[in-house]
A and B are shown apart, each in its own frame.
Chain A
Amino acid sequence: MSESVDGSLLPDKDLTFAKVVVLAQHAGGLALAAREMESASTGLPVGELDRLMAGRLAVMREAAERGCAGPVISRTGTTGGDAFRLCVATGRGGILGGPLTRAVARALAIAEVNAAMGRIVAAPTAGSCGIVPGVLLTVAEQCGLGDDKIVEGLWVAGLVGQVIQGRIALSGAQGGCQAECGAAAAMAAAAACHLAGGDAQASTHAAAIALKNLLGLVCDPVAGLVEVPCIKRNAGGVAIALAAAEMALAGIRSVIPPDEVVMAMAEIGHGLPLALRETGEGGLAATPTGRAIAAALAEDGDLGASDASVSGSVTGSERKC
């Protein structure tokens, strides 16, 4: 942190979890610290910031409800309808039941709305947009918390994202899926811990525990699309985030300090081969089925994603140059 002209705290390039914990102690909690920093850097009053964040919450909730109310199918037709499927099935029981299944269903729902070119909130990215709201909407429901508390949770989640972004760009192209779903799970875990009454230290450890479970996760989308495996990784991210938050609330701490976990994440991300960083060329994308889906989509023309489609995908209003 550095002091600005008027004495308020501004984020600096070396924002760390350790600094965030100290800052939270002075500000009266992580959410207040996050808002104070954002207000200092944007010049917007805290009330306006909360209003903007509440707007984001409304978009998140709308997407979750849409995906759970009926099947939402992706633009390519490759995926969709799974959130609805899960909601219907868990209405009859299910092995987990309760909050975890609802959180997973919400994450799937939002990720499906995203793939269908619907409106979502990137948190931190569009590919990982289901995790933070899936966790927060469900924790709030479980703990009987109002929207003002969920908004608080979103500030905590954003602050955690900022800390991670100080070490590695939040994009699959640069850091692999650990920098998208991994970061989102860390953000969600810290926010869930905060909402359930955990202090700043507990929240940063919740983030670290979640992140450790997703370190090294590669970005290998079939046909390069934000569908397979991204949608289901949102579901997995929710489960890991909730487990991490529960552990941190019980007093369990990450043996490797949170800032060192982020350093490891950055090192791993920078070492990932290009084929496993959002190019659609390795991992699941390179499986026989992954390749077959890509080839089939390429034949469809407009939605094609293979190299061959680049020169051939001139449809509708597009003309060749």
Chain B
Amino acid sequence: MSGQDGILEIIGPVMVGPSSSHTAGALRLARLARAVLGGQPQQATLGLHGSFAKTGAGHGTKLALTAGLLGMAVDDVRLAKADELAVAAGVDVCFEAVDLGVGAHPNTVVFDLRTADGHQAHLVGASLGGGSVQMTEVNGFAVNLNGLLDTMLFAHADWPGVVARLASAMALFDLNIAAMQVSRKGKGGQALTVLELDHPCPEVLCTAIAASPQILWSAKVARIDAAGADQ
């Protein structure tokens, strides 16, 4: 089974060509990485694996990844000039070929991002085809992010009650949790809770939770709109 996209994802997205996996999917993946970073990267090193490394250039994959880092939408015709726009915006993007082994999806990207104020993120994800994407690793935590729902990521101490408090906070704001993932780096170490929500988490709540001493870092990822383009 390969999962079920909505019909607007089958007849869609509206996008700049030439490849749904190597152009639109690449852009969405990079947008997801930008969202987890929490802003525009100043420095970005992108490792391209498999088909992305081999055929990426002709599909405009590097342009699409750059456009995603800049926060552009998949139907933005400026995509073809994303490299120039990155220079103008002071975003330094570099690419290298990486070999993640035969088990890795052929369209995998390893992101190492840094904002101007020194905030960093390391992410691994793949473009699955038809514009669908999946982020599988965030800052050392195993995840499964596809961007189809509004998503919150909370890294926190692996203590009893933190997950319950996060869920309670969502409940206070009447936010329905559609899916939830918890992973950790060893018992009592760091944990990551990913909440997929039916509505975006209000800023006031995001800020309040982020200020909690148990939260190490958090990120807010807007869903890919049904129209296939912007959030």
Contacts and interface: CB of A to CB of B under 8 A. Distances in A.
A278 B4 CA distance: 22
Interface string B199-217: 0000000000000000000
Main secondary structure of the interface of B (DSSP, over half): mixed
Interface in B68-111: 75, 77, 79-80, 83-84, 86-87, 92-97, 106-107
Give the interface residue-count category, chain B: 35 or more
A44 B226 contact: yes
The listed residue with most B CB atoms (<10 A of its CB), out of A74, A158, A221, A314, is A158
Nearest to A298: B57
A125 interface: yes
Nearest to A297: B58
Contacts of A168: 2
B135 interface: no
A173 B49 CA distance: 14
A320 interface: yes
B128 A279 contact: no
Contacts of B13: 121-122
A223 to B, nearest CB: 6
Contact of A115 (B18, B130, B226): B18
B12 A56 contact: yes
A313 interface: yes
A84 B130 CA distance: 27
A49 B8 contact: yes
Nearest to A10: B4
Contact of A38 (B3, B7, B59, B75): B7
Nearest to B47: A321
Given A224-B59, A226-B59, A41 B18 contact: no
A321 B59 CA distance: 21
30 contacts: A12-B4, A38-B7, A52-B226, A59-B14, A75-B80, A113-B17, A117-B60, A118-B16, A121-B12, A121-B15, A122-B15, A123-B11, A123-B12, A125-B19, A154-B11, A155-B7, A161-B10, A165-B3, A166-B1, A171-B128, A173-B106, A173-B129, A225-B18, A278-B55, A305-B55, A317-B93, A318-B95, A319-B94, A320-B94, A321-B95
